[in-house]
Amino acid sequence: MGGISKGIGNELEHGSAALGRIHNCSNNRKAMAYWLGFLKGVLASKHVETAEFSPLKVEAENFLALLKDDDAKELIEDLAIWQNEPREIFAIVQDIVDIRSREFQLESENDEINEMYGFCAGIACDNHISLEEVETLLRRLDSYPRIQRDSRVRNLKSAAQNAIADGQITPEESDDICEWIAHLVGDSASDTGLPTFGNTGVLQGALDDFRQIAFDGQMFVLTGKFTLGPRKVVSGMIEERGGLTKKTVCKNTSYLAVAAEASRDWRHSHEGLKIMRAIELRDAGQGPKLIHEYTLAQALTA
C-alpha cells in the first residue's frame, strides 16, 4: 500500500494510503453490499447450478481477500467438499444470506445500487439467465426506482420485460440480458476467470479503434486504476502528444478514458462520479467519447 503520499498543494493523492484510510469504511460497506447482492443473485433461480461453482469460488476468494470474510472462507472450503452436491451449496449460501441480511441493512441509495450490481453479477455468473432470475430481477428493480435513472439499467429492464412477455427465456434473450448486465458490472467470471467486483463495466459505445483517438488540443479525463501507471504518468503521456488533461467531466471533455481496474474509492462498485456524469451527458446528446484503457494504450504507443 505504501506510505502517505501527497499531491500538488498538499492534496491527498488519488490511490494514496491516507486517502484509502479515509474511504476505508465506505469501501468495506460497498464491498459487503455487493457480496451480499451477488449471493442473492446466485440463489435467485431457486437452485445452484454446477456451472456457478467456479464463479462463486472466484468471487468468494476475492471477498475473503478484501474483507477477511469468514463466511467466504468457509464457502470456498464447502465448494471443494460438496463438488457434486449443488443442493448442499444452495443451503450453505442461503444460510450466509439469511445471517448477513440481518447483520447488514441497506441504509442508502449507494448501498442499494451496490447490492443491485452484485445481484446482477450473481444471476449472470454462469452466462445463463433463467425465467426465475428474470422475474426476481424485475421485482428488485421495481423496488429500487432510483437506480432506474441510469440508462443502462433502463435498457436492462426493457430487455428483461421483453424476454419474459411470453413466459419463457430463449438462449438469445438470455444472452441479451447478460450483455446488458456486462455494461453494468463487466464480463462474468465464467468468461474471464476474474471476480466482477473490482473490474469495470463494458462501456456502451466506447471507441474500439485507437486510430479514432486524436490528441492535439483534445481534452482527456482519466478514471480508475491504470495498468499503464499512475494517472499523472498517463496524463503526461497524453500531454506529450498534444492532448490536455482535466480532473472533471464536462460538456467540453473530448474523451473519458476508463481504466481496466475500478478505483477502490469510486462511489459505486463499478463506476465513480466521472463515469456517471459522462453517461448523463451522453444520454443528453453531449459529453465525451468513451475509451477503454487498452484502446488508449494502443493510441499512445502507435
Phi, psi of 48 (to 5 degrees): -105, 125
Instruction: Check pLDDT > 80 for residue 61.
Output: yes
pTM comes to: 0.84
- Provide the grid cell at 158: 426493457
For position 18, what pLDDT does the model report?
A: 56
Gap between the Cα atoms of 157 and 151, Å rounded:
10
Q: Hey, which CATH number is domain 210-301, 1.10.3720.10, 3.40.50.10190, 2.130.10.10, 3.30.365.10?
A: 3.40.50.10190
Domain ranges of the chain: 17-192, 210-301
CB 263 within 8 A of CB 225: yes
Instruction: Report pLDDT digits (tens) over 24-57.
Output: 888 899 999 999 999 999 999 999 999 999 999 9
For position 7, what pLDDT does the model report?
A: 38
How far CA 61 is from CA of 46, 81, 195, 229, 299, in Å, comes to: 23, 16, 9, 26, 35
* Interval 143-157 mean pLDDT: 89
Beta bridge partners of 9: none
Helix crossing, 109-123 with 171-185: angle to 10°?
140
How far CA 106 is from CA of 115, 140, 184, in Å, comes to: 8, 13, 20
For the chain, the first-to-last Cα distance in angstroms comes to 32
Say how many CA atoms lie within 13 Å of 191 toward its Cβ.
Answer: 13
CB 93 within 8 A of CB 48: yes
Residue % of the chain over a pLDDT of 90 = 72
Task: Classify strands 255-258 and 289-292 as parallel, antiparallel or unpaired.
Answer: parallel
- Provide the grid cell at 228: 499503464
